[in-house]
Structure formats: C-alpha cells, structure tokens
A and B are shown apart, each in its own frame.
Chain A
Amino acid sequence: MKKVFGLLVFALLSSATYAAGFRVALQSTKQQGMGHIGAGLNVGPSNIFFNPGALALQDKGGIDVGGSAVLASNQYNLPGTTITHDLEDNVGTPVFLYGSFKLNDRLAGGLGVYTPYGNKVEWPEDWTGQFVSELVDLKSFFIQPTLSYQLDEKLGIGAGLIYALGIVTLERGIPAPTPTSNDATLESDGAASGIGFNAGVFYQPTEELSFGFNYRSKVEVDAEDGLVTTSFPANTNPAITSLFQATSFDATLPLPTEMALGAGWQVSDKLLLAADLNYIVWSQYEELVFNYNGDFGGPGVTTTVIPQNWEDAWTIKLGGQYAANEKLDLRLGGYLDYTPIPDFTLASITPDADRIGITGGATYKVSDNLDVDGALLYLKGDERTVLASENIANFGQRYDITVLAPSLGFGYSFN
C-alpha cells in the first residue's frame, strides 16, 4: 500500500519552484521585468508590496493589477541510479491587485492583495519520492490595507496590516509491506489564517537617487481542524486502515520575516538603474508539527514532527529601465536567489536549489492613464545533488529546475 496521504495545512510547505524556499517573487509585472526590484524605487501602487513608505510621495493614486503564468519544469534523478522523473506539468497563476489613493497632500492609503507564498508541486504517482511527497497544492493570499505618510518631500514612511489566508492539500504515499499495486490515498486539506505587517521607509535625497528599506514581518499561519481524508482500496486489511484514524489536524506554519534594502539611480532622462538586497529569515522555519485528533501512522501516534532547520537566505537583484520613447519603457534585470534549505531536510515538497533569474519586460502607455505591462522571467536552478546518506529521510535527490513565467499587467492612474 502506498500512497497515501497528505496533510495539511495551509500554507505550507509548499514550494515554490519560482523563488527559493516557498516564496513567490511575482508581485508586479512592471517590477518583474527588471529583476523584481522595488524597495528603493517609487513605482506606483505596487509600493504597497515593495515599500509602503514611497506611497505618500506619489502625487496621485492608481490601480495595478495583473498576474503571471508559471511554467515550471523539474527533472529528478536518484543519484547513483538511472532513475529519473519529471515534475507533472502545471501552470501556477499568482496574481496581484494594488489600489492606492491620496487622502491628503501628505497621507496616502491603499489596499494590496497578493500571493507571496504558494505553488503546486505534483510528482508522478509511484515515483521515487512518493513516501516524501506526491502533491502539494498551496494557495495563499495576503490582504494588506496600508497607510503612508510623507514626513517631508524627500522622506516617506508607510505600513500595512497583513491578513493572510491560505489553503493547502498534501498527498504522499504510505509505505506498507504490500505490493505497489495496492494503493491507498490519504489526503489532507486545510484552511488557515494569520496576521502580520509590512512597513517601509523611503528616502529620495535628489532627483537622481532614491533609497528604501522594507520590513515584512513573520506571519504565523495557524490551521485548525484541517480535514484528513483516507481512502484505501476496498477491503483493505484493518491492520493497516486502523493505523489511520485521524480525521482532522492542527498545524502552524511560519511565513518568515523578510527585509529588503534597495536603491535607485536615474542615470539620465531615459535610463534608471536599481538594486535590491533581500534577507529572508528562513531560520524561523525550524519544524513543521501536525497534531491529529486520532492515530496517524501507528497506535498512539497523534503528532508528526518534520524537522526543517532552514537557514536564512539572501537574494541579490539588479535591474534597469530604459525609456525608448514616450510610449514605451523597456526593462531588463536579473537576480541570484540562494536556497534556504539544507541538504539534511531537503524534500520533494520543496525541490529547491540556488537559482539565477533573468528577466525582461516592457510597458506600453496606451494613454496618460492606462499602461499595459508585459514581462518574462527565466529562472534556472543550479543542479543540486543530495545523497541519501546526507538526508533525514534517506532520500537521494538531484534536481534540474527551470521556470518560465510570462506576466501581464495593467496600470491605471487617477487624475
């Protein structure tokens, strides 16, 4: 019997194939075109995400809306064998919506809805890692009402309250002495929520230079009474089914603190260069604990503890924007994104490696009020090998990760 089950929680675990850990760096089509940089730039409504401190320095409000299609591919090899498996084809669709408005000369308000964490990672049934993970499907939304205040013409501060909502489905196989043809499924679905904040300070000392610092707090997402569904083949021996009596679970997942330091340099009328340095406190993700309302895997076993022991990680981003003419802006960018997951706890639920991202994009100004944005991210993981002897689950893993993410957005500014 094999196959089975999944669990949990919300936000969890998931994985992102598009940024290290399970973070998703696709929060604005415009910024995606230039390496997803924004902490040190005054870019419009999407500053609700990148740095709310800049919002109050904008002279009008607006709306930014869009989304991406994430086409991830990942080929797995069990090191030392000829065995390979390909990630199932999936298209992830992270979306964003930001709206900002001036309350008075110095005060601006806004609302952001975005998806900083999430993904779907589905491996073939009966693949090598089936007892670690077959499917994780994480969807999460952050809803962030925001206020920003202009201290003077050069300095703005801003902060927003984050309300996080998520839902997750996990599935994995359960090892048993039976042949592989006798499958069972145990699936867990959970919804969860948590609270946090996003705050930033933005400083523009001259027309040419800008700096910013943004702090997004940890959000502890709690799932209560998540659903555990067990489905075994008909007439499965009760010696096996009786090991799985739980029908619900509780769990908590930390979405970690993230800090970003950014700068922008308007080199000329046409050329803007920018850089961001991000630091994500992934060490907050020490373990994932599930508490069940009944036996789960054995008599008296009502808790599952999955050690994570992730490590803090950096992302270094560089990008630029060139105004080709009055109607067209072109963008280029790139970043290095370091994995937070140590070899010891690497699992197929978050098949992760250091990554390099290359981006390009453009904005076409349809009118004074309306922009159409397009961008493309190409992301390549550094091929990573973890031997079974180095891993907590004795799970040997080698991954080759590739992601292509086209993005489309619209910007509307109020007069």
Chain B
Amino acid sequence: MNWFKNTLIIAGLAVAFTACESDVTIDDFSQGEADFTSYVAIGNSLTAGYISGDVPRSGQIASYPNIISSSMNVVGGSSSFIQPLFQDEAGLGQGLALGFGADCVGTVGLAVVPAGLAPNPTVDGTAPFNNMGVPGIRSFEVFIDGYGSLNPYFGRFQNGPTSNVVGDALAAQPTFFTVWLGNNDVLGFATSGGVAGNTPCVPTATNPCLGSITDPSVVEQSIAGTLQALTLNGAKGVIANIPNVTDIPFFTTVPAQLFPLDEANAANLTGAFTAVAGIVTQNLALGGVPLAQAEAIASQYAIEWTEGANYPIVAVEATQTNPLGWRQMTAGELLVLTTDTDAVRCQGYGTMVLTPDVLQTLGLLAMGGTPTPAEAAAVVAAVSPIADGDTLLADELAAIQSATSAYNSSIASLANQFGLGVADMNGFFSEVTANSGITFSGATYSPTFVTGGLFSLDGVHPTSRGYSIIANKFMETINETYGSNLPMVDPNEFEGLAVPNTP
C-alpha cells in the first residue's frame, strides 16, 4: 500500500502549497447599460494621439480611444478598434524632439528641435475606422464634404473624395461613441497670439475663420449635429468639454517677467525710455497739442525699469491716447512658447534695441543737446515691443475665456439633451494646475514643460502618460453614466518624454 500512502502525502503537500498561494480578488468589471460592440471616437489631435508636433505610431497606439477600447474589450466589447495608423514614428514628418542647442550667450542646454524624420503617410488599416480623431479639425469642419483635401491627415484615410468625418464615423455603425470637439475653435486664436481679432467668427464659403475664435453658436450647432447623427440608431456615449488654454504649457512656460536686469542696465533703460517720453512730448507739442496734454500722453512711455525681473513692452493697437502702440505687459498676461527668448535676452526684444547710433543720441540728450528729428525718430523706433503674435493680452484672454465658457455650457446642455455623460476635462486640467501636479502610486507629474511629464514637446498635447490619464477620466464618466465598470489603466505604465543623454 506504499503507493496509497505516497499518493496521500503528495495530495497533502499539494493542498498545503495551494493554501500557501495568494490569490487577490480583482474587481468585477462589467459593461452596465452600455453596449461596447462598436466604439467610435470623434475628435481632433487629442483623439488622434498627437504628441510633440505630430502623430507617431506609438502615440496612436497609446491614444485615449485605443486605451478605452482595450478596457471595453475586457467587459465584452469588441476586440477590434481600427485606427488610421502610420507605418512608423515619423507621422507627417513634423515631429519635435529634445536635443541640445546653444543660446545667445553660448550656454548649451536642452532644446526642442525638429525630429527630422521623413514622412510616411501610408495608412496601416482599412475602413471603417473607429478612431476618427483628425488633428486640426474644428467643430464645424466635421461636416465639410471632401475635408480630406483641406486636411492631409484626414485625406489619408477618408472613405472617398467627398466624404466628411461624421459620415465616415457612422460607417463603423457605432453602438458607443466619445466626442471631444471645440478645442481648435479657440486654440488656433490662442496659439497665434490672437492676431486675427477678438470678435468670434462665423465661417462662410469664402471665410474659413482661420486663426479666429469660432462663434459659439456655430460650435453648438456643429456638436448638436454630430450628436444627432451618432445617436440616431440608439448609440450611447460621452462628450468631453474644453480645458482652459491657461492650463497648458504652451502659454505658461515663457515667464511674463523675462530675464532679470542688473542695476546698470535698468538705469540705462529707464534713461532711454525717459528720453522717448521727452521726444514724444516734443513731437506732439510741435504738432499743436497743448504742452500739458502732450506731457500727459507721453508720460506713459517713461517706463521705469528696476533691478531684477521686469514685464516687457508689448505691441498694442496705436490710438490717439497711445500713439506709439505699445505698453508694458501686466500681471496675468501670457507669452507663447514660441516667443524668441534669445532675442529678448540679447537683442532688446521687449525693451529697446540699443544700437551705437541710438546710444549716441541718448548720450547727446543726456548732455542737454538737441538731436536732429531723424535721430530722435530713431530713438523712438528703437523700442522693440513683443509682437502681437507672441502675446495673449488681457482682452484676448477674456475673449478666449468667454468662448471656452460658452462652448462648455453648450456641451453641458447638449449632453443633457441627448442623455450623455460629460467628461469634465476643463475641471480636471484646472485641478491639476491648481495643485501643481497629480500623483499616481508615488510618482508626481505636473503641467511643467518638458520636466512635468504630462505634456509633450509642442506644449499643447499630452504625452502618452497624459493621454492615459485622459482615458481614465473618460472611463470614470462612462462608468458613472451607464453603471458600467470599465477597468482603469495605470498612467505610470505609459511613456513620458525621452530626455537625451549628454551632448
């Protein structure tokens, strides 16, 4: 009976070892009332997986719709989520990378440089596509037939030469959708420094409103039409709202108070701007303006520069009360990421370009001499305000804020009307900014450019890590709205930015 005894011993040991194994309980994941048979995402660059100026294949694979789709698959949704994938990381060949560069004083440091990859736009995948994220698209453009001829990214995978984005999305027969539109309706205005003017624009056949704020009523109609089309066959979904531009590094990285001045430079600049005010007074008086009035107008140009950080001079519209068309920037106003900070530091951009001729004239004035009208005009012209395209001034910020609020209230009421959940990206990004970051499992990420880990090198779009957090926000909203329980992802498992080695 030895075999019997041995069997008992082996069985006993097996029981003992099984009992010694740990087996943690995983949550019950379920789809709730939602049907994830066919999921379609409509949106812009954020939906496409845009990172660092382009759409690398890795960004598409880590796009928030693809992450959401993987979780839907866990609860019985389709395992297939077709994206218009690129063949490689080059995308459209506009990508940015971190490299090294020398600034105007010769200091070599990390710098954002073109990645220099050759574009390879061939699509890996066949229609119908589930990820209908199209970089650059504005809300009303989802209905433009033949939009592929205006937007090369959509041109890559449109169903036909006259198709539009919503029509192509419906081809996938969605049972569930996410929509995130409206960002570009205000972002183009913001990134171009608001040069197109603050008045919201209604697009027409002849005016595409490029660089303008899209009129909120147009955005509302476009999103309403999109939701109408998507829900026609009973599909459910979630819509996201628009973050504030002031929460993204493109507008918060270049400090409004630029490079600090030493005592001597501050004194020299104060003297130079005092001279400008004097010249303006004289010119106005010569033009017949009463002296007291001329002095009052000119006094705004006698900028006092202090040792340390100062707000730069910015271009504004020239008016009767501000004939030179510039003023000092004020707290809360922003400079864009692409502002030429080397020119600020070394060439007087934002203060004054002090050429030898200008210095000579200033010296003459200091001695009590009288420069020629041409010499005096050259001093006034030496003032080098930061260009309108590099700044978001108070009125422009107010226009952006007003449009963003209008878009978001439309999104909220449309969600209500169509019975959809709202993913509050505005509230989420505001919270991250207010808390200076967000922590996952002991790792803290912030909106800080390059080092923060959330935003990519273009300063507007997230890293894959950032997109994974966005995917979780969408899934939280889906779970809350439809009683489902989609599994979340761990943002720490997604890539941040590659910091290169020493040069």
Contacts and interface: CB of A to CB of B under 8 A. Distances in A.
A96 to B, nearest CB: 23
B496 A179 contact: yes
B410 to A, nearest CB: 31
B495 interface: yes
B488 A80 contact: yes
Interface majority SS on B: helix, strand, loop or mixed? Answer: loop
A415 interface: no
Contact of B22 (A74, A79, A176, A238): A74
Contact of A75 (B23, B463, B497): B23
Given A131-B492, A178-B497, A239-B499, A394 B22 contact: no
A82 interface: yes
B324 interface: no
A77 B23 CA distance: 10
B373 to A, nearest CB: 52
A176 B442 contact: no
**Residue in B20, B110, B441 whose Cβ sees the most chain A Cβ within 10 Å:** B441
B19 A378 contact: yes
A237 B439 contact: no
A235 B502 contact: yes
Contacts of A239: 110, 451, 499
A369 interface: no
B22 A128 contact: no
A215 B449 CA distance: 56
B4 interface: no
Given A80-B488, A175-B492, A132 B25 contact: no
B22 A395 contact: no
Given A80-B487, A398-B24, A388 B440 contact: yes
Interface string A50-80: 0000000000000000000001011111111
Interface in A170-207: 172-173, 175-180, 182
Contact of A401 (B22, B496, B502): B22
A333 interface: no
Given A177-B452, A180-B495, A237-B499, A393 B19 contact: no
B107 interface: no
Nearest to A233: B501
B443 interface: yes
A246 interface: no
B500 interface: yes
Contacts of B450: 177
Given A79-B27, A82-B74, A239-B110, A131 B441 contact: yes
Contacts of B452: 177
B205 interface: no
Given A81-B488, A178-B497, A393-B439, A86 B22 contact: yes
A3 B384 CA distance: 48
B459 to A, nearest CB: 14
Interface residues of A, number: 51
Nearest to A1: B499
Contacts of B443: 131, 173, 175
Contact of A131 (B110, B442, B489): B442
Nearest to B501: A235
A399 B498 CA distance: 33
Q: How large is the interface on B (under 10, 10 to 19, 20 to 34, 35 or more residues)?
A: 35 or more
Nearest to B444: A175
B495 A179 contact: yes
Nearest to A238: B502
A402 B21 contact: yes
A400 B23 CA distance: 6
A396 interface: yes
Contacts of A403: 20
Given A179-B495, A236-B501, A404 B27 contact: no
Contacts of A240: 499
Nearest to B21: A73
Contacts of A238: 502
**Residue in B24, B443, B488, B502 whose Cβ sees the most chain A Cβ within 10 Å:** B24
A84 interface: yes
B503 to A, nearest CB: 10
Contacts of B418: none
A378 B19 CA distance: 9
A75 B24 contact: yes
B16 interface: yes
A77 B441 contact: no
Interface string B5-31: 000000000001001111111110100
A398 B25 contact: yes
B33 interface: no
B317 interface: no
A73 B22 contact: yes
A81 B489 contact: yes
A132 B492 CA distance: 12
A73 B20 contact: yes
A267 interface: no
Interface in B18-68: 19-27, 29
A129 interface: yes
B243 interface: no
A128 B495 contact: no
A383 interface: yes
A4 B420 CA distance: 44
B498 A179 contact: yes
B24 A132 contact: no
Interface in A21-73: 71, 73
Contacts of A129: 441-442
A366 interface: no
A234 B501 CA distance: 8
A234 B500 CA distance: 11
A305 interface: no
A346 to B, nearest CB: 12
Nearest to B493: A180
B453 interface: yes
Given A383-B25, A404-B20, A178 B501 contact: no
A240 B23 CA distance: 38
Interface string A80-109: 111110110000000000000000000000
Contacts of B480: none
B124 interface: no
Interface in A219-245: 234-240
Contacts of B441: 78, 128-132, 388, 393-396
A177 B445 CA distance: 8
Contact of A176 (B74, B440, B499, B500): B499
B20 to A, nearest CB: 5
Contacts of B493: 180
Contacts of A71: 20
Interface in A379-409: 383, 388, 393-396, 398-404
Contact of B442 (A179, A182, A395, A400): A395
B307 interface: no
B439 A394 contact: yes
B490 interface: yes
B313 to A, nearest CB: 32
A130 B440 CA distance: 11
B490 A383 contact: no
A404 B19 CA distance: 9
Interface in B445-489: 445, 450-453, 463, 487-489
Contacts of A383: 24-25
Contacts of A394: 438-442
Nearest to B451: A177
Contacts of B444: 175
Given A77-B25, A178-B498, 8 more contacts: A74-B22, A82-B487, A128-B441, A177-B496, A234-B501, A240-B499, A394-B442, A400-B25
5 contacts: A74-B22, A129-B441, A177-B452, A235-B502, A401-B22
